[in-house]
Amino acid sequence: MRNAKVWMFTALVLAVLVGVALLVTSAPTAQAVADRPTMKHHWRYFDGHWSYWDPDDSRWYYTNGENWYYYDDGTWRLYRFDKKYGRDFEREGYRMPGEGTRHVAPRHRVYVPRR
């Protein structure tokens, strides 16, 4: 009976040590996170619409042909060309809608990769 208790205790200690070792080695380090490839400029068709990912701003953009929008906290917001995206191309006289102008923001979602 004593041998069985010693074996059980040894097996329990080994299981705990293996579990801790797996947790410690599987957690990403700061260097591993920094070494991950970043998403480059690209268009993606998702939820029935084309959206554009800009890595410089780290956000999605969408146009309905009339206005530009950016995706922030689960909703589309009217884009005011305040970040880097859109600075390097002609906007052909695009003007932000004035105060009181009615516009309907898109409701589709964007692709979010699993981590």
- Give the mean pLDDT of 23-33: 61
Confidence of residue 38 (pLDDT cuts 50, 70, 90): low
Q: What is the pLDDT of residues 50-88, one digit of tens each?
A: 888 888 888 888 888 778 888 888 888 888 776 676 666
Give every CB contact of residue 63 below 8 A, 6+ residues apart in sequence.
69
Percent of the chain past pLDDT 70, that is, above it, reads 69
Taking a C-beta distance cutoff of 8 angstroms, is the pair 66, 55 a contact? no
CA 78 to chain centre: 20
CA triple 86-87-89, angle to 5 deg: 70
Which one is predicted more confidently, 22 or 63?
A: 63
Q: Which amino acid is at 61?
A: Y
Residue for token digits 């990912």?
Answer: 53
- Domain ranges for the chain: 2-35, 39-115
pLDDT at residue 28 greater than cutoff 80: no
